[in-house]
Structure 1
Amino acid sequence: MAVPQSPSGAANVARAWIGFALLIAAHFGVRPLISARVDVDFALIAILFSAVRMRPGLAAVTGFLVGLALDAMAPGSFGAHALALTLIGYGASWLKAVFFADHVGLTGLFVFLGKWVLDIALTLLTGVSSGISLVIALLVWSPLSAALTAAVAVLLLVMFRPLYRPQTL
């Protein structure tokens, strides 16, 4: 009886990069086509899924670089995405042992909280809302967007598990 062999470390790294690149491409290619008040943040999913494979410093650098790319398209609030995604990448990598087990429900909760924290940070850093519109944005639209992002992340995790999780036997 042949024992199935696990893929090499290089194969896992290649799959992780392919998954990351596909999510970033979806963020810049698909997301603008379906833009609405409640949208999916593919870049955040990419950072969270990759941060679980990295040390905190590298995850922070990844978040910073993706944030810079997002900030380049919004010069009025330059630096907000870079700061927020740096902190989220670092925190996700640091907390990976606690939250990012291979449990799909915990992954959905983690992505929901990550997206909500990102939206809160961006809203407060950019100062685009105030008064009742700030409250509505943070307590209605942001949680709905976080829920949609978490649902898409869970769907992607279930459908494309080899790209977003290391294979274990």
Structure 2
Amino acid sequence: MRGPPQSAGVAGALRAWAGFAVLVGAQFGVRPLIAGRATVDFAVIAVLFSAVRLRPGVAAVVGFLTGLALDALSPGGFGASALVLTVLAFSASWLKAVFFADHVALTGLFVFSAKWLFDVAMALLTGVGSGASMLVALLVWSPLSAALTAVVGVLLLVVFRPLYRPHSL
């Protein structure tokens, strides 16, 4: 005998939050172990995948809190990640019907765009680098990092589809 339909919604929400926690844990546990200039940004994936399941206001709070956790590690630009992830989460929640249907290519494009916008906004807000070094970082390394993040995001979406299936809570 199955429980009431509400318990299925609660179980789905718990699975989604567990997936979010695993991705944020990977941001702090796995990402530092990956050497190189183009790395996967698990926090952006976590925020985007959770934002498609939440209302815009709640998604913005999740983005803000995740950004604060990232900012705790970089006191020089404190608040920049919180601001950028808040805007990305709010936007992703509003655009969920367009980009997170079940179209893998659009999801990859959306994750790529969000990661690249995150990097551009962080560079502008924190003022790290200048001139040619900033240009190379934003036009070479950032798109490579965004592409790698998009590939990992699409793979996660395909492999763990029930966990990240978009619907409102």
Establish whether residue 73 from structure 1 lines up as the match of residue 83 from structure 2: no
Equivalent residues, number: 163
CA deviation string 1:84-107 (max 9, x = no partner): 000000000011111111111111
Match of 1:8, SS? helix
Match of 2:130, SS? coil
Distance 1:18 1:166, change over 3 A: same
What amino acid is the match of 1:97?
A: A
Question: How far did 1:35 drift?
Answer: 3.4
Structure 1 unmatched runs, 5+: 1-5
Report if aligned partners of 1:99, 1:110 keep a CA contact under 8 Å in 2.
yes
Structure 2 unmatched runs, 5+: none
Report if aligned partners of 1:59, 1:89 keep a CA contact under 8 Å in 2.
yes
Q: Which runs of 4+ in 1 moved over 6 A?
A: none
> Equivalents in 2 of 1:166, 1:128: separation in Å?
35
> Equivalents in 2 of 1:42, 1:51: separation in Å?
14
Match in the other structure for 1:35: 35
Report if aligned partners of 1:12, 1:166 keep a CA contact under 8 Å in 2.
no
Establish whether residue 113 from structure 1 lines up as the match of residue 109 from structure 2: no
Report if aligned partners of 1:116, 1:142 keep a CA contact under 8 Å in 2.
yes
- TM-score normalized by the length of structure 1: 0.92
> Equivalents in 1 of 2:73, 2:80: separation in Å?
12
More displaced stretch, 74-83 vs 7-16: 7-16
Please provide the CA RMSD for this pair. Answer: 1.6
- Determine what percentage of the aligned residue pairs are the same residue: 70
Report if aligned partners of 2:52, 2:166 keep a CA contact under 8 Å in 1.
no
Match in the other structure for 1:62: 62
- TM-score normalized by the length of structure 2: 0.92
> Equivalents in 1 of 2:98, 2:166: separation in Å?
17
Match in the other structure for 1:155: 155
CA deviation string 1:20-66 (max 9, x = no partner): 01101111110000032000000000000000000111000000000
Question: How far did 1:166 drift?
Answer: 5.1
Establish whether residue 15 from structure 1 lines up as the match of residue 18 from structure 2: no
